[in-house]
Amino acid sequence: MPRRPKILEAVSEGVGGGAKHVYDLVSQLQDEFSFSVACPDNGPYFGKFRGLGVPVFDVPFSALSPRSFCQLRGVLKGDGIDLVHVHGRKAGFYGRLACLFADISVVYSFHGLHYQKHGVLLRTLSVAVERALGKRTDRFINVSQSERQDCLALGVLDAERSLVVCNGIDWQAFDAFSVDVPQLKADLGFGPDDVVVAQIAKFDVQKAQDDLAAAIPLVLEQCPGAKFLFVGDGALRPEIEAQVTRLGVGRHVVFTGYRGDVAMLLKAVDIVALPSRWEGLPLVLLEAMACRKPIVASRVTGNIDVVVDGVTGFLVPSGAPQALADKIVLLLQDAPLCDELGRRGRERVEQEFSLERMVAHMRSVYQDLLDRP
């Protein structure tokens, strides 16, 4: 039996879209390639990677960590790695640094540009580091066309060595189970006839839960029975909970914390909101479309590649709670429109964002690099 090429997948976080993306790649391609994973033990995917039966290394990828660098160097030296695929800015830094003096091809997937959360000085430094490490990158992968355009504008990738591989999901899996919607709504604290607007995301400045919270009283002025669901956890959750209390809308809002049953929750809600300040290509929007849910999202990188404005949902300016509220109200008052947008969203995810398509593209990238002399 021929030896399977060894690929190290290094991902910055053990939770979120990047980790889910790596999990899908490994689970779909492990019969063709021998995978190992470097990932911090800070979320559910660390255990899920182990569940796939592949070697998993707990690498923290914290700021300025010699330990992370040494761990990756040790893996590269001792495990006969043929190809390294790094995901996200932190893993991209340590992974490519560890490969500087190794004869190993490196693939770098951005999964969103996060420089917006930094001040000017740190942003300038981060971009300079990306440009320098770009010289040690054999393939750049963007998860959306708009992300690639942003990267080109910043000069952090080489156009000839880059390509777009859009995120994809197994949309058929969302048809494989049914949900007792009234019971699930009751478990969440809602009534069976409540119309629920949900945001499912890590509590982070990127995800702009503060904008949705600010929109809630504006929505309630016209739709006093509307309910809102915040799913996820993170450092900013207490701040958003305090904001909701300060606005006096707490009885209309439920915070669940982290949930591993997002697909079930999506089937029980009516509208999905994502007012992010930036994205790569958010999986939650693809999952919402697979569940035939209408979307209201910000008109930012990543979201604009998924949502067709007025066709599968609505795009509104980032940082504009009133515009966000107006579109939510429009959907709350027009059930046939919700159904039509949901139907078209499902058609789009089937045609453009399938898991099979994503995996096939990445298989081609891996094989092309492995076949090079």
Q: What is the DSSP string of 89-132?
A: HHHHHHHHHHTTTS--EEEEE-SS--GGGS-HHHHHHHHHHHHH
Residue 66 pLDDT: 85
* Domains in the chain: ranges and CATH: 6-168+354-370 (3.40.50.2000), 171-352 (3.40.50.2000)
How is residue 359 written in tokens?
């995996």
d(CA 7, CA 355) in angstroms, rounded, equals 20
pLDDT digits (tens, 9 = 90+) for 86-115: 999 999 999 999 998 888 999 999 999 887
Instruction: Assign 140 to helix, strand or coil.
Output: strand
Residue 79 pLDDT: 73
Residue 103 pLDDT: 87
Instruction: Assign 222 to helix, strand or coil.
Output: helix
Residue 149 near residue 171 (C-beta atoms within 8 A): no
Residue 1 pLDDT: 60
Q: Residue 39: enclosing H or E segment and its boundaries?
A: strand 34-39
pLDDT digits (tens, 9 = 90+) for 298-352: 999 999 999 999 999 999 999 999 999 999 999 999 999 999 999 999 999 999 9
Other Cβ atoms within 10 Å of 103 Cβ, number: 6
Q: What is the DSSP string of 147-202?
A: HHHHHHHHT-S-GGGEEE----B-GGGGGS----HHHHHHHHT--TT--EEEEES-
Amino acid at 93: F
Residue 220 pLDDT: 98
Residue 195 pLDDT: 97
Q: Which of 236, 233, 25, 240 is nearest to 111 (CA)?
A: 25
Residue 122 pLDDT: 85
Q: What's the sign of the alpha-carbon dihedral 81, 86, 90, 94?
A: positive
Cα 209–Cα 310–Cα 219 angle in degrees, nearest 5:
40
- Strands 196-200, 253-257: pairing is unpaired
Residue 64 pLDDT: 77
The whole model's pTM is what? 0.94
Token pair 């399938």 in the structure block, residue: 354
Task: Extract the residue ranges of the chain whose pLDDT is less than 70.
Answer: 1
